């Protein structure tokens, strides 16, 4: 227990609620499923309540007024945190970049989309030092515009306005980032036990020949990307270039974008290290209450203005750090640089024999001039042969540099917002960009009679319930709520690379697509394949429900478009490939996976709750959608009927479970010793985990047979429409 919470634990009389962490079930049984990741961000933690609709609120925002206020703020220096050279631009851009820069393509998590920079651990990462001040400077604007401008949007807009107020024309801005109210529970930031632990330390993210653990996209715990002083603090620009290439690629940035971003970022602002890091107080999350949420406060020496310590590196990159210009490449490429130590003791590169007029001024006194600096990452842009070529091109063609940087900055700050359908506001660029995974709009509508007709045609086509459900499921399951990519819209399951993924059972997929294409060709209206694939699954679910004696119409909303190969960045889709799927009871060949991953990761990314996950599993099993037709996990004699048999048989003590392999079991009748069905470990989790068993029991009850069918259908519709932002 720490000294700041005297009221809990030790007192012999007072024993209140369990207000501190430390004795949770996860501490006693760390290998248990962490179902908590499915129950975050619920209404109980949201002060704006259920009825609040951010998109509606944002529409009322006067975006031009906010932009003007932000531009004015940039040059209104506050005594409590003075602006360098009277301009907050550098600080605001670093805040925006660090909010977006946590994004990684492997799982789509991180990024600027949620305002998570306000919460631990990110608010207290060493790399985010003093960004608490940047957010606090924005508070008057946040307060003024209130609920119609989220912190997440404000942070990115502040970065854009910082650039605009320094003379750079940005590519555009889209709102639509809804704030969260507590930190994410599902995002894995690494296993190290210490901030900035070097590679090879306990829990290191590195193995082999500097192989960075997936999905991580930063080299150290508490950094956004690479170590500015060099790999593990040892300057060597070529080694740093290697780390940059990998970490930037992990957020889908190529070499050209990497050079543009780093150079464009460091064209303005400065590094702060003119003092002793030991004088800084604790980070925000550990600071005392009187610090009021701020951290890294220096109560020993001056510690602001020219005496600020942030990274420990000291100095600006360019001669005019509050102006957008070509000064970064001018100094980087035209001078030789040598290693020096900053006043705070950090490694930095300084120019040899620099002309006096090329030196940037002191942040407080224009009559004093200092050496510019480069971090090891900046030096990588000069020393790495590929980066160097790009740097020279940018130096020689500033207009080209401006264009590449504008696009890369827009991509950096908007990529995790998802498809264009989610963009809000008047500054959205008209141009479609390939990383937005564009999907063309459709112009037809379908009435109920037309939908029923198509469903009947599909059901009469000879395809089985399992084939139809599996195809619709596979087309929708790629959706991930993290960066809103994937999903059934666009019917990219017809295209490379998805059509060839092992998890999509290419043979079965082609068979189903061919039949559906035949049906499509005969329809009076130009119905998209994306709609037909979902409608086919929907028709099959409806039939299965009716066969179980529950008469329902499964809701279906047409309107999905078909993307083309030209609209699809094949490489960027590779990260969406499922390697396992608990619902389809399948693991890619040679892939090792725990039941936790099989169930929870995809469930969380698809935005489902634990009860929804349970209902879906129960349905997928009896509908016979197990991968490749394997019978594992189908504990019913009525395959294709949406019964609750999975739960009834799972909870029936007349059966016992006999291991037959590492993750496979026979379901044996206790009395006769006869094997009735086969199961996998994922199936058994629903009977063994105490929480999931409590849900399985609900669905096994006789009085809940119809409830099960309805719950399955609700969850199914949610998955099928997860990417329909046009409906939301
Ligand atoms: C290779 C990756 C990068 C590294 C290692 C790096 C490192 C650093 C360091 C050490 C600082 C000094 C922080 C301080 O002491 O105040 C800094 C500041 C800054 N960085 Fe980066 N950076 C990188 C990429 C970027 C990118 C991609 C951008 C934006 C597009 C950017 C924008 C900035 C800005 C504007 C500042 C100035 C902050 C201020 O004036 O207060 N950086 N960076």
Name residue 207's beta-bridge partners.
211
Any atom of ligand 1 within 6 Å of the Cβ of 264: yes
pLDDT tens digits for 25-38?
888 888 888 898 99
Tell me the C-alpha distance between 477 and 473, whole Å: 6
Return the higher-pLDDT residue of 16 and 227.
227
CA distances from 683 to 35, 207, 384, 470, 626 (A): 16, 33, 51, 18, 11
Would the pLDDT of 6 be above 60?
no
242 assigned binding-site residue:
no
pTM: 0.96
CA of 94 to the centre of ligand 1 (A): 6
Would the pLDDT of 2 be above 70?
no
Would the pLDDT of 7 be above 50?
no
Which pLDDT score is estimated for 28? Answer: 87
Would the pLDDT of 695 be above 70?
yes
pLDDT tens digits for 176-190?
999 999 999 999 999
Q: Which residues are catalytic?
A: 98
Which residue's CA is minimally distant from atom 29 of ligand 1? 265
Which residue's CA is minimally distant from atom 11 of ligand 1? 271
Any atom of ligand 1 within 6 Å of the Cβ of 274: no
Which pLDDT score is estimated for 630? Answer: 82
CA of 84 to the centre of ligand 1 (A): 15
CA of 103 to the centre of ligand 1 (A): 16
Q: Give the residue from 98, 89, 146 showing the smallest Cα distance to 122.
A: 98
Terminal alpha carbon distance of the chain: 45
CA of 577 to the centre of ligand 1 (A): 33
**Structure tokens of 550?**
């529950």
Atom of ligand 1 nearest to the CA of 270: 40
Q: Which of 170, 232, 265 to mutate to test the pocket of ligand 1 (most atoms within 8 A of CB)?
A: 265
What band does 3 get if pLDDT is binned at 50, 70 and 90? very low
Which pLDDT score is estimated for 13? Answer: 55
Would the pLDDT of 475 be above 70?
yes
Any atom of ligand 1 within 6 Å of the Cβ of 245: no
Q: Give the residue from 574, 578, 565, 463 showing the smallest Cα distance to 510.
A: 463
Any atom of ligand 1 within 6 Å of the Cβ of 262: yes
Task: Give start and end residues of each alpha helix (H) in 21-147.
Answer: 25-28, 54-59, 63-74, 89-100, 131-145
Any atom of ligand 1 within 6 Å of the Cβ of 266: yes
What band does 9 get if pLDDT is binned at 50, 70 and 90? very low
Average pLDDT, rounded, for the chain: 95
Which pLDDT score is estimated for 15? Answer: 60
Any atom of ligand 1 within 6 Å of the Cβ of 322: no
Q: How many Cβ atoms are within 10 Å of 148's Cβ, its own excluded?
A: 17
Any atom of ligand 1 within 6 Å of the Cβ of 261: yes
- Residue 708 · residue 49 · CB < 8 Å: no
Which pLDDT score is estimated for 628? Answer: 84
Mean of pLDDT values over 604-614: 96
Mean of pLDDT values over 654-676: 95
pLDDT tens digits for 402-437?
999 999 999 999 999 999 999 999 999 999 999 999
Would the pLDDT of 591 be above 70?
yes
Atom of ligand 1 nearest to the CA of 225: 2
ipTM here: 0.99
pLDDT tens digits for 634-646?
999 999 999 999 9
Which pLDDT score is estimated for 12? Answer: 55
Q: Which long-range contacts (CB under 8 A, 24 or more apart) does 418-423 make?
A: 418/113, 418/483, 418/484, 418/485, 418/725, 419/484, 419/485, 419/723, 419/725, 420/174, 421/725, 421/726, 422/174, 422/176, 422/484, 422/725, 423/174, 423/175, 423/176
pLDDT tens digits for 44-54?
899 999 899 99
In degrees, rounded to 5, the angle at the alpha carbon of residue 660 between the alpha carbons of residues 656 and 664 is: 85
**DSSP secondary structure, 246-275, as one string:** HHHHTTT--HHHHHHHHHHHTTS-EE-BSS
Residue-wise burial string across 158-172, b where 16 or more C-beta atoms lie within 10 A, e elsewhere: bbbbbbbbbebebbb
Mean of pLDDT values over 319-345: 98
Which residue's CA is minimally distant from atom 16 of ligand 1? 271
Query: Which residues touch 28 (CB under 8 Å, ≥6 apart)?
Result: none
What is the Cα Rg of the chain in Å? 28
For residue 211, report the phi and psi dihedrals to the nearest 5 degrees: -90, 120
% pLDDT > 70, the chain = 98
Whether the CA torsion 289, 291, 292, 294 is positive or negative: it is: negative
Which residue's CA is minimally distant from atom 1 of ligand 1? 377
What band does 10 get if pLDDT is binned at 50, 70 and 90? low
What band does 550 get if pLDDT is binned at 50, 70 and 90? very high
CA distances from 233 to 197, 198, 238, 387 (A): 11, 9, 14, 21
Mean of pLDDT values over 233-242: 98
Mean of pLDDT values over 319-326: 98
């Amino acid at each position: 227990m720490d000294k700041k919470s005297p009221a809990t634990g030790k007192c012999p009389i007072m024993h209140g609620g369990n207000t501190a962490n430390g004795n949770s079930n996860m501490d006693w049984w760390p290998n248990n499923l962490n179902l908590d990741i499915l129950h975050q961000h619920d209404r109980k933690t949201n002060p704006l309540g259920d009825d609040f609709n951010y998109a509606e609120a944002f529409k009322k925002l006067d975006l031009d007024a906010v932009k003007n206020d932000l531009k004015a703020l940039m040059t209104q220096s506050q005594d409590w945190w003075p602006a360098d050279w009277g301009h907050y631009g550098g600080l605001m851009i670093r805040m925006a970049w660090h909010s977006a820069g946590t994004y990684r393509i492997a799982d789509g998590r991180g990024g600027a989309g949620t305002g998570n920079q306000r919460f631990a651990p990110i608010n207290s990462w060493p790399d985010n030092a003093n960004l608490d001040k940047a957010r606090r400077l924005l508070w008057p604007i946040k307060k003024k515009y209130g609920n119609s401008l989220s912190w997440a949007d404000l942070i990115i807009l502040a970065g854009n306005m910082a650039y605009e107020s320094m003379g750079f024309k940005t590519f555009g801005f889209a709102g639509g980032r809804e704030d969260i109210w507590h930190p994410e529970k599902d995002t894995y930031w690494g296993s190290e036990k210490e901030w900035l632990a070097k590679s090879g330390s306990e829990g290191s993210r590195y193995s082999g020949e500097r192989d960075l653990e997936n999905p991580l996209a930063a080299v150290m715990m508490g950094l956004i990307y690479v170590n500015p002083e060099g790999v593990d603090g040892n300057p060597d620009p070529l080694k740093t270039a290697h780390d940059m290439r990998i970490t930037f690629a992990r957020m889908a940035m190529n070499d050209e974008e990497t050079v543009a971003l780093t150079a464009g970022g460091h064209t303005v602002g400065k590094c702060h290290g003119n003092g002793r890091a030991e004088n800084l107080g604790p980070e925000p999350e550990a600071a005392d209450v009187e610090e009021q949420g701020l951290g890294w406060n220096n109560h020993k020496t001056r510690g602001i203005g020219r005496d600020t310590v942030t990274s420990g590196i000291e100095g600006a990159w360019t001669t005019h750090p509050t102006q957008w210009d070509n000064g970064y490449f001018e100094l980087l490429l035209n001078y030789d640089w040598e290693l020096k130590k900053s006043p705070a003791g950090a490694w930095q590169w300084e120019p040899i024999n620099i002309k006096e007029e090329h030196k940037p001024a002191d942040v407080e006194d224009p009559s004093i001039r200092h050496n510019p600096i480069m971090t090891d990452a900046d030096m990588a842009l000069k020393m790495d042969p590929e980066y160097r070529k790009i740097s020279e091109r940018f130096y020689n063609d500033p207009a080209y540099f401006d264009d590449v940087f504008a696009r890369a900055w827009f991509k950096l700050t908007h990529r995790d917002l998802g498809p264009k359908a989610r963009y809000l506001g008047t500054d959205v660029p008209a141009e479609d960009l390939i990383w937005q995974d564009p999907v063309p709009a459709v112009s037809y509508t379908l009435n109920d009679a037309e939908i029923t007709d198509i469903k009947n045609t599909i059901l009469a086509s000879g395809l089985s319930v399992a084939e139809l459900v599996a195809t619709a499921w596979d087309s929708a399951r790629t959706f991930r709520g993290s960066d809103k990519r994937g999903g059934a819209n666009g019917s990219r399951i017809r295209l490379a690379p998805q059509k060839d993924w092992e998890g999509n059972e290419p043979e079965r997929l082609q068979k189903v697509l061919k039949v559906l294409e035949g049906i499509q060709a005969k329809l009076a209206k130009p119905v998209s394949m994306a709609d037909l694939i979902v409608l086919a699954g929907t028709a099959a679910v409806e039939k299965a429900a009716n066969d179980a004696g529950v008469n329902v119409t499964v809701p279906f909303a047409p309107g999905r478009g078909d993307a083309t190969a030209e609209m699809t960045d094949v490489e960027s889709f590779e990260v969406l490939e499922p390697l396992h799927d608990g619902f389809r009871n399948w693991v890619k060949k040679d892939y090792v996976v725990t039941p936790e991953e099989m169930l929870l990761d995809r469930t969380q990314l698809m935005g489902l709750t634990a009860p929804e996950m349970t209902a879906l599993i129960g349905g997928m099993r009896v509908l016979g959608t197990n991968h490749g037709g394997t019978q594992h996990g189908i504990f019913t004699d009525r395959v294709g009927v949406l019964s609750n048999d999975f739960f009834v048989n799972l909870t029936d003590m007349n059966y016992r479970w006999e291991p037959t392999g590492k993750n496979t079991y026979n379901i044996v009748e206790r009395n006769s010793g006869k094997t009735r069905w086969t199961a996998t470990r994922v199936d058994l989790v629903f009977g063994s985990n105490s929480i999931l068993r409590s849900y399985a029991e609900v669905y096994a009850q006789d009085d809940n047979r119809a409830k099960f069918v309805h719950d399955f259908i609700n969850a199914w519709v949610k998955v099928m429409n997860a990417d329909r932002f046009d409906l939301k």
